[in-house]
Amino acid sequence: MATGKEIAGKYWEKYKKQESPFALYSPFLVCVAAGNLDFRSFNLCISQDYYFLDAFVQAYKLAEDSVERKENKKLIHNLRESVYVMIQTYNTTLIE
């Protein structure tokens, strides 16, 4: 049976040449490269990341609560704190 890494690598090799140009030349990235991305679109992009990161904070909190070994608990706590710092950076960026 193939592992997840083998499957992901197989599909990446198969589709990277076909799909990557669509990602590189998406309207969002073209506007970023041209320097004319409107604030509303930028705000939407960051807000999507914000909700995604918030889910990570909650998941890390649940994992931290369920782990018994102190070393693992500290590692998960550090991960949660680093994501929280990213969220604070997003908040600061949106305020500015």
> In the prediction, which pLDDT does 10 show?
84
9 and 50 part of one domain: no
The residue range of the domain holding 42 is: 38-96
Q: What is the pTM of this model?
A: 0.58
- Mean pLDDT throughout 38-66? 89
Same domain, 42 and 73: yes
Same domain membership, residue 25 and residue 10? yes
How many folded domains does the chain comprise? 2
Looking at residues 21-29, what average pLDDT do you find?
82
Same domain, 48 and 28: no
Report how far residue 11's alpha carbon sits from residue 17's, in angstroms, rounded to the nearest whole number: 11
Which 8-state DSSP code applies to residue 35? T
Return d(Cα 13, Cα 72) in angstroms, integer. 35
